[in-house]
Amino acid sequence: MSTLRVLVLDDQPVQRRYIAILLAHLGCTRILEASEGCEALQLLELNGPVDIAFCDICMEGMDGITFLRRASQRHALKSVVIISSIALDLRQAISHMATLLGLRVLGQLCKPLQEQDVKRLASTYLDDNPHDGCPLHLPGETNEHQVLKALENNELEVFYQPKFDIRTLQVTSVEALARWNHPEHGILTPASFIPVLERYGLMDSLLYRQIDQCLTLRKEAFASKVSLTFAVNVNASQFANPQMSAHVALLLKRFNAPGSSLSFEMTETGTLDPGSISLENMVRLRMMGCGLSIDDFGGGYSSLQRLCSLPFNEIKIDAEFIRDLSSEPRSRAAISSVLSMAQELNIGVVIEGIETIEQRDILISLGCETGQGYLLAHPMPAHNLLPWLIGRNATVQRS
């Protein structure tokens, strides 16, 4: 953890120092401390962006809410941990606000903090960013040039995270996640390249390359007697491309793969063109046997309207509902309601963000069947996925 850059923002000196000492014990050597938002922004201006900000909310001077908004505008934070003694529902609302600002929320902690919680959240950041300290955003024009070159040079790769049966932990499918294998900075997240691809109208090119990689891996897996289906992420706007479903059909035909090999996950926060072309693409994909899923369900808008008017056959419940599952009855009630609604509509439900046995046990008691999260596996590159699956199948057969 020595290369992590961390900001501790808290107006209580003893609490602030305690967090810094905990981080130092965990191996962090680059720690900034501030007592209120203005001071924190000045430190970020002088020292550059940080990987994680442990951010208090209620402070004299600039409070945590204003700080998060201004820091996000300056691209000064990669991720944030909300630390506060305010009510849990308020902490959850602030976490959602931070997500809408483009920040990754690692979690929420109530004071006083415990060492194991700080270590767990810092490890969560490192698990998703193995080359800790590498930038998520490359500077200015260099960023655009390098992203376009990366697409041309096939540096944008697919990492795979399994979905699993919550009760048996058997793998049911895998989600394809875009990553940039940067020649200098290592593995970078989508935040470093998606905005550029969107500006240049290259999201479809990325999508078709991802499908190509998935179906190539499917063919390799089939040769090893491993059956794989894939979920790929799409922006809502991509359904408005008149050639989308036709292009997908050509890829499936080229690999001699059934439509059921693919599912398309659309983030709920995306703006969906209500025109007939989007709906036609969705219908044609479903008619081919492909799946359609609303990703991050509950984190966007128009949920019920989309479910009733569009041909989705799966929803993925946002990980935000899982983080405080053991202590927050609202989260359990929300999940139960979604499960009941999904059963009435005859659509599947996937629970994202499952990290602990306790969460799994609660979800089983609620009637959940399919999940995804670090409890089973982290995202992994293609060359690791197949050996992992073969080894896992062999272990299951021996047990």
Do residues 68 and 103 make contact, with C-beta atoms less than 8 angstroms apart?
yes
Distance of CA 185 to the CA centre of its chain: 20
Question: What's the DSSP call for residue 399?
Answer: -
The residue ranges of every structural domain in the chain are: 5-128, 140-398
Residues of 92-113 as b/e, b for ≥16 C-beta within 10 angstroms? bebbebbbebebbbbbbbbeeb
Q: Which pLDDT does position 270 carry in this prediction?
A: 53
Q: Please, where are the H alpha helices in the chain?
A: 13-25, 37-47, 64-73, 88-100, 115-128, 140-152, 194-199, 203-223, 244-254, 276-288, 303-309, 329-345, 357-366, 382-398
The single residue of 33, 268, 314, 352 carrying the catalytic annotation is: 352
For CA atoms 306, 307, 310, 314, the dihedral sign is positive
- C-alpha to C-alpha distance for 76 and 55, rounded to whole angstroms: 13
Topology adopted by domain 5-128:
Rossmann fold (3.40.50)
What was the pLDDT predicted at 303? 60
Q: What is the model's pLDDT at position 272?
A: 62
Give pLDDT, residue 298.
Answer: 63
Distance of CA 205 to the CA centre of its chain: 21
> Over its length of 399 residues, how does the chain's per-residue pLDDT go in tens digits?
456 789 999 988 888 888 888 888 777 778 899 999 999 999 998 988 888 999 999 888 899 999 999 998 888 888 899 988 887 778 878 887 888 788 888 888 877 777 777 777 776 676 555 444 334 444 444 478 888 999 999 899 999 999 999 999 999 999 999 999 888 878 887 877 888 898 889 999 999 999 999 999 999 999 988 999 999 999 888 999 999 999 999 999 999 999 999 999 987 555 566 577 888 999 999 999 999 998 877 655 446 777 777 889 999 988 878 877 877 788 888 899 999 989 988 999 999 989 889 999 999 999 999 999 988 998 999 999 999 998 886 555 555
The predicted pLDDT at position 203 comes to 93
- Residue whose structure tokens are 């036609």: 280
d(CA 207, CA 232): 8
b or e along 316-353 (b: 16 or more beta carbons within 10 Å of the residue's beta carbon)? bbbbbbbbbbeebeebbebbeebbeebeeeebbbbbbb
The separation between CA 43 and the C-alpha centre of its own chain, rounded to angstroms, equals 29
Give the pLDDT of residue 220.
94
- Read off φ and ψ for residue 269, nearest 5 degrees: -80, -10
Query: Is 352 tagged catalytic?
Result: yes
Answer whether CATH 1.20.810.10 is correct for domain 140-398: no
In the numeric block, the tokens 């609303």 are attached to 294
Question: Quick check: 35 and 59 in contact, CB under 8 A?
Answer: yes
Q: Give yes or no for a contact between 79 and 104, defined as CB atoms under 8 angstroms apart.
A: yes
pLDDT, position 140: 45
